[in-house]
Chains A and B, each alone.
Chain A
Amino acid sequence: MGHGTYMDDEKLTASVAGEVERVNKLICVRPLKTRYNGEVGDVIVGRITEVQQKRWKVETNSRLDSVLLLSSVNLPGGELRRRSAEDELTMRDYLQEGDLISAEVQSVFSDGALSLHTRSLKYGKLGQGVLVQVSPSLVKRQKTHFHNLPCGASIILGNNGFLWLYPTPGQQDEEEGGYYTSLELVPLSDREVISRLRNCLLALAAHKVLLYDTSVLYCYESSLLYQIKDILKPETMDEIVMVTRQRLLDQEG
C-alpha cells in the first residue's frame, strides 16, 4: 500500500529491492539503489553547478538540484549584515562552479528540491581532499557526521552518499570560518591514510555494508595488512570486508 509496493493477486508485493518500513498498517519499501531524498537536518556534501542571481545550485545526487540561497551562507569574516547588491555581484568570489561544500538541509520545497544552509562554522567550502560517491542508503543516520578518525584523517559522511575525506585541520585553521581553503602541500603520511580510507569506503560500498565511523575504522584497520593499491582487487576486498563484518557483529553481540 505504501511506496515501493503493489498488489499482485491480493498479495502485497515489493516492486523495489530494499528495506521494509512499517507504520501501523502502512507498509513501504525503501529502495537500496535510489537518488537521495533529503530531510530537514541532514548533513550533505554537494558540488556547485550553477551561480544564479541570489543563489547557487548544488548537485547533491537527488532528483533535482538543491538550492543554496545567498542569505543562507555565512559571509567571510562572520559579519551579520544585510546582503547588498555588491554581494550578489561577488558571489563567484565565494563559491564557483565545481566547488565542494558541506551544508545542512534547511527545508524542502514543494517540488522536492532541497534548500541548504551553511550558517555554522563547521559548514562551508571544502578544501583539499578526496570525494567518494556511494549510494545514499548506505550512510547510517547518526548524531554527528563529522568525524576525526584516530588513524589520522577526517571524514564527512554526507547523507546524500557523498563522502569527503580530508587531512585533519590543525588548530589554527578552525577560526577561519568556511571560506579559507589551504592550498599547502598535504604531507605524504596523511595522503596514505586518505587513499587507504578511500579504497576502504569503496570496498565497503561494493559489499553494501552500512557506513558509519566504526565500520570505516574497522575496515581501515583490517586493510593495514595489504598495500593501498591492492585493496580494490576483488579477492582482497572480500577478505577485508569479511573481517570487518565479523568485528562489527562481535561488537554488537
Chain B
Amino acid sequence: MASVQISEAEKVYIMHGVRDDLRVDGRGCEDYRHMEIETDVVSNTDGSAKVRMGHTDVLVGIKAELRRPRPNVPDEGYLEFFVDCSANATPEFEGRGGEELGVELSNTLYKVFNSHRSLDLRSLCVCPGEHCWVLYVDVLLLQCDGNLFDAMSIAIKAALFNTRIPKVRVLEDEEGGKEIELSDDPYDCLRLRVDNIPCIVTLCKVGHRHVVDATLQEKACSAASLLVAVTPRGAVTCVRKLGAGSLDPDSIFEMTETGKRVGKALHAPLMELLQKDESLGKKRQKVGFLA
C-alpha cells in the first residue's frame, strides 16, 4: 500500500485529534470522505462501476461467461476476483510491485463473498451440473489514497447492481443433447439481487480510538487495522486483521461493533443512489474518466 512519511510531531497531532473526535480534515471518527460513484463506465463489460473517494480511484468491470459449475456445488454459479494494482496508482506498484497487494486484496474478496447469505449463487445456474454463469470481477486500482478495501467493495456492489446477464434457455433436442439459446432481445437480461452484498469497512486503530476511512497520514500513525465485511442486515461475513501491530480483544470487539454500525448505515444511501442513477436511464450524463 502507498505510504507517506510523517514526523513525530505530526503523528502526535493526529492522534490527539482522533482522541477528541476531530480529525485533520474536520471529520469525526466515523465519517467517510466525499464519495463519487458512477456505473456503466466501461461499455464492453456486462457491468461496471467507478468509485472515487478522496484521491482513491477504483474501477470494477464484470464479465459473465458460461462454464461448468464447481463439482461440489453443481447448482450454483460462482465469482472469480482479480485485483490489478496499476502502476499509475503509486510508484511502489511499478513492475511487479503491486502483485503482492493485488493477491492479498483478491483473497480477502473471496473470503468476504464466500457466504451464502451475500449473493444468491443459485440464480446464476443455467443447467445444474453442466452450465452456470461465472462472473469474472476485475478490479483496477487507478489511484491510491488510503482505504482501498472500502472503495473496492462499494465499487463491486455498484458494478454487480449494474450487471446485466443475458437470459439463456436450455433446449433439449431428440438425441438428448443440450443446446443453449441466447435470447434475441438485447435488453432481455437477468439482474442480480444485490440486497445482501456486504460492504467492507476498514477501521484503523490510532492511539486508543479507531477511525473509519483513514487517509494515508492517519494510516502512518496506526499500527494495526481491522477489516469487517458487513451486510445490510448487520451480519458480518469476514473479519481480518491487517498491519504489524497488536490489538487486544476488547478493542477488537469495539471495532467490530463500530464496523457493523457504520457498515449498516452505508448500505441504505448507497442503494438509494444506485436506484436513482438507474432510473435516470438514457438521460444520465456520463462523466467517465476525464472529469
Which interface class (under 10, 10 to 19, 20 to 34, 35 or more) fits B? 20 to 34
Interface pair B26/A98, CB less than 8 Å apart: no
A130 vs B17: C-alpha distance when bound (angstroms): 11
Interface residue total, chain A, C-beta cutoff 8 A: 32
**Are B9 and A126 closer than 8 Å at their CB atoms?**
yes
**Shortest distance in angstroms between B167's beta carbon and chain A's nearest beta carbon?**
39
Asked whether A98 and B25 contact (CB < 8 A) given A128-B12, A129-B13, A185-B16, the answer is no
Chain A proximity mask over B247-288: 1 for CB below 8 Å, otherwise 0: 000000000000000000000000000000000000000000
Closest to A185 in B: B16
Report chain B residues within 8 Å CB of A49. Answer: 5
Q: How far is the CA of A99 from the CA of B8 in the complex (A)?
A: 7
B7 touches A98 (CB 8 A): yes
A131 touches B26 (CB 8 A): no
Residues of chain B lying within 8 A (CB to CB) of residue A188: 20, 22
Q: CA of A99 to CA of B11 in the docked complex: distance in angstroms? A: 11
The smallest C-beta distance from A99 to any residue of chain B, in angstroms, reads 5
Total of A-B residue pairs, C-beta within 8 Å = 70
Take A183-B12, A186-B13 as given contacts and tell me if A195 and B7 are in contact as well, using a CB distance cutoff of 8 Å.
no
B24 touches A99 (CB 8 A): no
Which of B9, B12, B31 has the most CB atoms of chain A within a 10 A radius of its CB? B9
Instruction: Write the nearest CB–CB distance from B266 to chain A, whole angstroms.
Output: 16
Q: Is A232 an interface residue (CB 8 A)?
A: yes
On whether the beta carbons of B25 and A198 are closer than 8 Å, the reply is yes
Bitwise, A209-239 to B at CB < 8 A (1) or not (0) is: 0000000000000000001110111100000
B26 touches A195 (CB 8 A): yes
Q: Are A129 and B16 in contact (CB under 8 A)?
A: no
CA distance A100 to B8 in the complex (A): 10
Binary interface encoding of chain A residues 191-205 relative to chain B, with 1 for a CB under 8 A from any of its CBs, else 0: 110111011000000
List chain A residues, Cβ under 8 A from B73. none
Q: What B residues does A198 contact at CB under 8 A?
A: 24-26
Provide the residues of chain B in CB contact with A96, threshold 8 Å. 7-8
A230 closest partner in B (C-beta)? B26
* A129-B10, A185-B16 as given contacts; A195 in contact with B5, CB under 8 Å: no
Q: What would 4 more interface pairs be, CB under 8 Å, given A98-B5, A228-B25? A: A181-B8, A191-B17, A192-B22, A199-B26
A-B contacts, 20 of them at CB < 8 A, read A96-B8, A97-B5, A98-B5, A98-B6, A99-B8, A100-B7, A126-B7, A128-B10, A129-B10, A130-B24, A131-B10, A181-B9, A183-B12, A191-B20, A195-B22, A198-B24, A198-B25, A228-B26, A231-B26, A234-B34
